Amino acid sequence: MKLKPLTYSNINSSAINKITIDGNSLSIVFTSSDKEYNYTINNTEFVELLDKTIKNSESVGKFINISLKEKNIEQIQVETK
C-alpha cells in the first residue's frame, strides 16, 4: 500500500514556503520563488527529523541546509536545453 504524499505548508520559516514528501522524493518551494525544487531522500530518518524540527519550531531552512551538506538529501538536477 502506497502512502499518500505528506505536505507541510504554513511552516514557520523565512526561507521555506512548502515541503512535500512522496516516498523518497522531496519537493521544496522556497519563499523567494514559486519554483519547486526536487530532491531524493537518502536518509531513512529524514522525515522523522524534519517533523521533529517543525514541531519544535526549530529552523527548517537550517535543517534542510545541513541535510544537503550531509547528503541526507540530494537535489535532482534537471537538464536545461
pLDDT above 60: residue 9 = yes
Confidence of residue 78 (pLDDT cuts 50, 70, 90): confident
pLDDT of residue 68: 97
pLDDT of residue 81: 62
Instruction: Choose among 66, 56, 54, 48: nearest CA to 9.
Output: 54
pLDDT digits (tens, 9 = 90+) for 22-50: 999 999 999 999 999 999 999 999 999 99
Cα–Cα distance, 33 to 31 (Å, whole number): 6
Residue 17 within a domain: yes
Residue 28 within a domain: yes
Q: How many domains does the chain have?
A: 1
Q: Contact, 59 vs 52, CB < 8 A?
A: no
Domain range for 38 is 6-75
Residue 81 within a domain: no
